[in-house]
């Protein structure tokens, strides 16, 4: 899709009339109860504008083409419709945007993946190994500069490899309670987006923040300490399992067990709420 055709497509989907809350609910019920294809198509079609908005944001940050992002986002939109419960009182796009982002993010990750054979794979393995050793020695602040010199790589090339490592190495992206819901606002935070889209993002952020706060409240003192000081700490300030073990006068293995139990409890609690479940799906894909 050329720039001209992508602009034409965006103009086309923005000409599709928006749905009122009442009409949206009617269509969603018809699809859920009767599998009415006309209701499905109208509901999806009226929300394509939001897919292009998210795709435009992704496009400015990646090398993936706009049409690929839109295609993936549209799949996410259909997937969300099959899971959407119109009786929850939430607008469809507030729910669906997590799936839209998840499918786009997953496609971006796949497009950035390294071929698992040959020189690149060996180089990636060496970067992983050397960074792990340096970080274990407490050299986090200088490791990348020194590693670039040792491997005869430019800083930009090393950063690219490290970003690819980070994409594959983080199984559940937890940073801080305030930033857990930041992905959605990042997607819709551009000044070019409408007030409605920003309002949808703010509503979703608020619901996600409440879900995360509730999930944290289910942890005991030691579990919450591990989550806050290890998983939610800012980069470079995370405590190791050995440090946590010393703080609690337990072994490193026991600290790991506490961490595993805390993550399991958080996931179970989040999965019980629609917004939490969709955020977990997004995090896994991204």
Residue 269 structural domain: 182-285
Task: Determine the Cα–Cα distance for residues 76 and 96; give it in Å rounded to an integer.
Answer: 7
208 belongs to a structural domain: yes
Do 157 and 61 lie in a common domain?
A: no
Do 140 and 224 lie in a common domain?
A: no
Do 140 and 194 lie in a common domain?
A: no
pLDDT at 137: 62
pLDDT at 216: 81
Q: Which of 126, 141, 169 is the last residue of a domain?
A: 169
CATH number, position 25 = 1.20.120.1810
pLDDT at 189: 46
176 belongs to a structural domain: no
Contacting residues for 95 by C-beta, under 8 A, at least 6 apart: 80, 83, 84, 88, 274, 275, 278
Contacting residues for 93 by C-beta, under 8 A, at least 6 apart: 47, 50, 200
Do 88 and 16 lie in a common domain?
A: yes
Task: Determine the Cα–Cα distance for residues 245 and 40; give it in Å rounded to an integer.
Answer: 53
Burial class of 123 by CB neighbour count within 10 A (0 to 12, 13 to 18, 19+): middle
Asked whether the beta carbons of 180 and 275 are under 8 A apart, the reply is: no
pLDDT at 285: 47
What is the total count of domains within the chain? 3
pLDDT at 175: 38
CATH number, position 242 = 1.10.10.10
255 belongs to a structural domain: yes
Q: For the whole model, what pTM was predicted?
A: 0.45
User: Could you report the average pLDDT of every consecutive run of 10 residues in the chain (286 residues)?
Assistant: 72 92 95 94 94 86 81 90 88 89 77 47 69 63 71 74 52 39 43 49 61 80 85 75 88 91 85 63 51
């Amino acid at each position: 899709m050329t720039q001209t055709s992508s602009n034409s497509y965006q103009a086309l989907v923005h000409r599709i009339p928006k749905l009122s809350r009442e009409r949206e609910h009617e269509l969603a019920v018809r699809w859920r109860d009767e599998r009415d294809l006309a209701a499905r198509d109208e509901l999806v079609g009226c929300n394509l504008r939001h897919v292009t908005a998210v795709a435009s944001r992704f496009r400015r940050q990646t090398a993936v083409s706009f049409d690929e992002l839109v295609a993936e986002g549209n799949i996410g939109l259909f997937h969300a419709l099959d899971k959407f419960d119109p009786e929850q009182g939430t607008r469809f796009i507030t729910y669906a945007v997590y799936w839209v982002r998840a499918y786009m993010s997953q496609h971006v990750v796949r497009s950035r993946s390294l071929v698992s054979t040959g020189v690149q794979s060996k180089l990636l393995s060496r970067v992983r190994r050397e960074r792990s050793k340096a970080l274990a020695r407490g050299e986090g602040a200088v490791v990348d500069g020194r590693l670039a010199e040792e491997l005869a790589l430019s800083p930009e090339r090393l950063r690219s490899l490290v970003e690819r490592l980070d994409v594959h190495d983080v199984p559940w992206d937890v940073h801080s309670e305030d930033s857990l819901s930041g992905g959605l606002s990042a997607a819709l935070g551009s000044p070019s987006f409408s007030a409605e889209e920003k309002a949808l993002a703010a509503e979703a952020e608020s619901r996600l923040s409440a879900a995360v706060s509730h999930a944290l409240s289910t942890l005991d003192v030691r579990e919450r300490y591990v989550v806050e000081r290890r998983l939610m700490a800012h980069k470079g300030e995370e405590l190791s399992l050995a440090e946590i073990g010393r703080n609690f006068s337990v072994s490193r293995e026991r600290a790991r067990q506490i961490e595993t139990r805390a993550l399991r409890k958080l996931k179970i609690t989040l999965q019980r709420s629609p917004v939490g479940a969709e955020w977990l799906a997004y995090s896994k894909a991204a």
